[in-house]
Structure 1
């Protein structure tokens, strides 16, 4: 019982920090960074993402382990899961896939472009490839929270 509580606490904290970090980057840091010149702003983003993204990998690991632990501890197998937990699982995996693509494809290229001081191309990459994925994951993360909180009360 205590271990289950610890696992759910880990799950909650990992989810809050991942989605909260996305919110901070998208709705707070981005508008504040707009006052900086593009080279400085883009270097700020390389540094900010470079510090945040390793944490996200840790959050993902914690969410997968703690989420499936909870499922099997409470329900025994996947066949007996309520619908809301299935929805959370699939949304969560979608978020993970989107993040992995963001990390390994556009962010890798973004770092290279900034290091090579190709700032117009880096800015274009961020605006066209990275920002939409970040916005989608922020929306999905908020949806996850809503489902997680309301699902047990809706009886689905």
Structure 2
């Protein structure tokens, strides 16, 4: 294994852990802690959190795609010949990217507009009914992908 592979594999793992860890923090730590705030202040906090975190998520997606495919193609050859666990991680990753893209360009865009117009009830409704479920699904998928990534090299080889 060369330095390039070690660096790319490390960047891949770091990007995945921070994305999934950020969702866990937001969903399981910040959300309950922010519940004690008044609705308006809570929504202002969430808007600031989403704006900062979602910018990082775009960066993480870029790092994950580039590092993942680079590592895969340089070490393992054609994608079709990759082990099942890597193919599962790839599909889960693309589902997560698709969900995040939808979240960012539709519900989050509407959320920002409602916040800018001081329509806090509508913004809260968008956050609770459109954004929160997608974040919960992506958190679950991210945890599954991390488990697959950690355990997959130890799976028995299944011929197709």
The 3-state SS of whatever aligns with 1:35 is: coil
Equivalent residues, number: 156
Which structure 2 segments of 5+ residues have no match? none
Aligned residue for 1:63? 64
Say whether 1:155 aligns with 2:153: no
Q: Distance in 2 between matches of 1:13 and 1:155?
A: 26
Two-structure CA RMSD over aligned residues (Å) = 0.7
Aligned residue for 2:43? 42
Deviation at residue 155 of structure 1 after TM alignment? 2.5
Q: Deviations over 1:33-81 (max 9, x none)?
A: 1111111100111100001111000000000000001111111111210
Deviation at residue 20 of structure 1 after TM alignment? 0.5
Aligned residue for 1:2? 3
Aligned residue for 1:116? 117
Deviation at residue 114 of structure 1 after TM alignment? 1.1
Aligned residue for 1:16? 17
Q: Distance in 1 between matches of 2:80 and 2:138?
A: 27
Contact kept in structure 2, 1:84 and 1:152, CA below 8 Å = yes
Q: Distance in 1 between matches of 2:148 and 2:132?
A: 24
Aligned residue for 2:142? 141
Q: Distance in 2 between matches of 1:75 and 1:27?
A: 37
The 3-state SS of whatever aligns with 2:106 is: helix
Q: Normalised by the size of structure 1, how large is the TM-score?
A: 0.98
- Structure 1 residues 54-133: aligned runs within 5 Å: 54-133=55-134
Q: Normalised by the size of structure 2, how large is the TM-score?
A: 0.96
The list of structure 1 runs, each at least 4 consecutive aligned residues, that deviate by more than 4 angstroms after superposition, is none
Q: Deviations over 1:80-120 (max 9, x none)?
A: 10011000000000000000000000001001111111111
Contact kept in structure 2, 1:39 and 1:117, CA below 8 Å = no
